[in-house]
Structure 1
């Protein structure tokens, strides 16, 4: 685990305002949101921090420059200046009102060093991003909020909050990269957004072939209850690629096909956490992960499609197998689950509006999200890439669920390893870290048999 921030700090709001598209004839219409935009998995806020150090090329007035660029980029992303509306059937749509995006400028009474590596989100960090109360109605919440925080050292943090129903993580990064291009003087985004959600409208056919992508596992009803802790805190692990290569070389002979780094790390987490929780061996546990299905459609969705294109895949196994079988066994289950997300399956769940996976159903079930390829590390506001990217997720009680994991690039270099962000009670994390090291050690020690 890495070091966290060194001290608390205070944030003073300088100004908050609504930024509208710079052209007065911004479209006024109501936009359809697809069933993928309305699935339970995405009815949440998508919050992240992008950290930029002071340098020769840093913006002299980041908030002012970014606000002006925001007005320009909203000409292309005009739905973000509107509001979400709920229809009679409970589905959401976007009303393009042109009201504007909520923009906040703030000053922090400290340097960036106060943030440390952003691995432990202290209460004071919440000041970096304006957040609406959790009980606010959708009609009262802006689809996007942007806050630019100036630090005394000259660095700044851009905090962004999106309603996930409007677009997915890749869509958010496309917007931020376009905003960065406008800051750098571009006339228009290099990749213009495509808002045509009708591309994923249900087909007018009766679908009989919906096949669940869940592994069929016979098991007893859940009787396990998680231990009660006061809170879960954000922790992290760095898994370097050299170590992961030892693991990959050790399990490849028993894998169906070439395994990816994602599959190996997912299997490591699944086995280690299941061991820590001491769940009865006859019960089942799952590992769910979001899969970008843009290229899975036939034909693939066009570049620039800005809607939600993620589907949850859910791999299941009996606890006994998860903790005793070699990693190759779990990798093969994960790989098979990914392969089950075919065009036929995805189209079926869109047609029937059936999303059978409840990823929040049990703390024994793991939820993974891979942020490495979303594009946040390419967001450039004129001074280069961010030196740190950090999710900011708190639930209604200010505490994260202790079954969530996010994969990021290693902070030193992209090609150095994977940084795994997780939320756990400290007692559980210590045991989890020991289990991870124990599993890896078998593969690193030369001559071991698996």
Structure 2
């Protein structure tokens, strides 16, 4: 369902002065952590908001602050900052104990005034503390927490992490550990935090053995993108304004078990997984909506592939760096639209298989070493699908029960599409039925209207 969500202004949220929480175990002398090319290519922020009805916001604030002090013993590097290595010019993580940022806030609105929490809402950005969009990259906090109390007594916990430091799996594990500490637990899961990312170091000399359409070289024209290759000694440009109902629509689209079964049947005789079926349909519908006047151009869909099991030696439990590379499927727009659905499924399966070997992963790392690239979503033609459905956000209990809803924060990047589980994705359109998947997407208004006409057409 496409919506024009309730707009909340800065005047509706009263924030206290941010507090810096330090790690009690920060190494002395200061430690620097090597960041892989995979880390560096995705050093942008990830924002999530957890909504709660039970408990006290003031008590939750106290509990979370205490838990963060404990969490920052094993996760001391989260209190660090990015810096540039003077000799190599590479981005690295300085464990300088600059601090995790914590903010208390009060809202002038009630939680129910927000309407359906499951629907994408740019106003949810008011419930997170963004770490200095107008400051130098090396001054920005890598982890922020904001507890916002609503006038009704409910509250929201907004968290911002940096993808360059934690990928989805390791961020989810960190959140689970934080929640466990809030509940009085003591043991980490996994028990050891493994932060050595040199297993993903580029070869010397680099050996690019495959073409890599999934990335685009960094250039001065890309400096407004949320890339870690932006110079550290310059303030970031003014960020894109939040999307508004005037030029964008936001949708949460439920794929029910029957819809998924229909897609899989349409792919016959090619067998496909739920992910492959939904990804193929999204690619096809978006191509119809975006490329209607450009049939000869290449349409591409990008997606994340976990390579933990593809690298030797095998990564240990507790690895906290990025172990995810970008896969892709591409074809001329006319082919994507006019050929049978099975054609799209076959291209998607080829894209997944392409990343299955370690040599391809090593080649991608070496390509990034040479070209300093980022995922190729900056041209307005391709889009990136990330599967969040296995991340246990809705299970996080910080001491007063599980959240009534968990939401990513809608921002100005309509090239990113999320696949959410029914538990995390809300009730809209029957999205809570077992086996369903909710697609979280935004597009320009006219493109969204076309997309909605095609999304369930086979």
Give the TM-score taking structure 1 as reference length.
0.84
1:237-276 alpha-carbon deviations (Å, 9 max, x no partner) = 11112221122123232x1xx3111111111111112112
Does the alignment pair 1:231 with 2:247? yes
Deviations 1:93-132 (A, max 9, x none): 111112320111111223222233252424x433211224
Structure 1 residues 4-19: aligned runs within 5 Å: 5-6=5-6, 8=8, 10-19=12-21
Structure 2: unaligned runs, 5 residues or longer = 215-244
Structure-2 residue corresponding to 1:71: 69
Partner of 2:361 in structure 1?
A: 346
For the residues of structure 1 that align with 2:180 and 2:348, how far apart are their CA atoms? 38
Aligned residues: 412
Asked whether 1:435 is paired with 2:457, we answer: no
Contact 2:125–2:410 (8 Å) recurs in 1: no
Aligned to 1:261: 274
Partner of 1:327: 341
CA contact (8 A) 2:145 2:157 kept: yes
C-alpha deviation, 1:26, in angstroms: 7.0
Using a 3 Å threshold, how does the CA distance of structure 1 residues 273 and 172 change in structure 2: closer, same or farther? same
Alpha-carbon spacing, 1:317–1:25, altered in 2? closer, same or farther (3 Å): closer
- Cα deviation digits, residues 142-194 of structure 1 (max 9, x gap): 11111111223333211111222112122221111110011011123221321
**Is residue 233–residue 425 contact of structure 1 (8 Å, CA) maintained in 2?**
yes
1:299-358, CA deviations, whole angstroms, 9 ceiling, x for partnerless residues? 321111000111111211011110011211101111111111121111233245257674
| Residues 74 and 133 (structure 1), Cα distance of their counterparts in 2 relative to 1, 3 Å cut | closer
RMSD, aligned CA: 2.6
3-state SS in 2 of match to 1:402: coil
What's the TM-score once normalised by structure 2's chain length?
A: 0.83
**Could you say if the C-alpha distance between residues 59 and 309 of structure 1 is closer, same or farther in structure 2, counting changes exceeding 3 Å?**
same
Deviations 1:70-111 (A, max 9, x none): 010000100011111112444211111123201111112232
> In structure 1, what is the equivalent of residue 145 of structure 2?
146
SS of 2:455's partner is helix
Aligned-partner Cα distance in 1 for 2:331–2:287: 11
**For 1:423-443, what per-residue CA distance to the aligned partner results, in whole angstroms no more than 9, with x for missing partners?**
21222212211111333xxxx
CA–CA separation in structure 1 for the residues paired with 2:78 and 2:257: 39
How far apart, in 1, do the equivalents of 2:17 and 2:52 lie? 21
Secondary structure at 1:296 match in 2: coil
Counterparts of 1:35-74 in structure 2, within 5 Å, are 35-39=37-41, 42-54=42-54, 61-74=59-72
Cα distance in 2 for partners of 1:378, 1:296 equals: 29
Alpha-carbon displacement from aligned partner over 1:349-377 (angstroms, at most 9, x marks no partner):
32452576742242222221111123323
1:94 is aligned to 93
Q: How has the CA–CA distance of structure 1 residues 24 and 249 changed in structure 2, closer, same or farther, with 3 Å as cutoff?
A: closer
Quick one: which of 359, 367, 378 aligns to 2:376? 359
**Closer, same or farther: CA 26–237 of 1 in aligned 2, 3 Å:** farther
Q: Could you tell me how far 1:419 is from its partner in structure 2?
A: 1.3
| Residues 71 and 178 in structure 2, CA contact (< 8 A), matched pair in contact too | yes
Distance 1:128 1:431 in 2: 32
Please list every run of 5 or more consecutive structure 1 residues that lacks an aligned counterpart in the other structure: 216-228, 395-399, 440-450
In structure 2, relative to structure 1, the CA distance for the partners of 1:91 and 1:24 (3 Å cut) is closer
Contact 1:26/1:75 (CA < 8 Å) preserved in 2?
Answer: no
- Distance in structure 1 (CA, Å) of the matches to 2:433 and 2:35: 34
Q: Is the 8 A contact 1:232 1:425 kept in 2?
A: yes
Residue 66 to residue 173, structure 1, CA distance change in 2 (3 Å): same
- The equivalent of 1:401 in structure 2 is 413
1:276 to 282, 289, 292: 289
Structure 1's 323 and 362: CA in aligned 2 closer, same or farther, altered over 3 A? Answer: same
* Cross-structure match for 1:444: none
Question: Does residue 1:249 correspond to 2:247, yes or no?
Answer: no
Secondary structure at 1:119 match in 2:
coil
Superposed displacement of residue 59, structure 1: 7.1
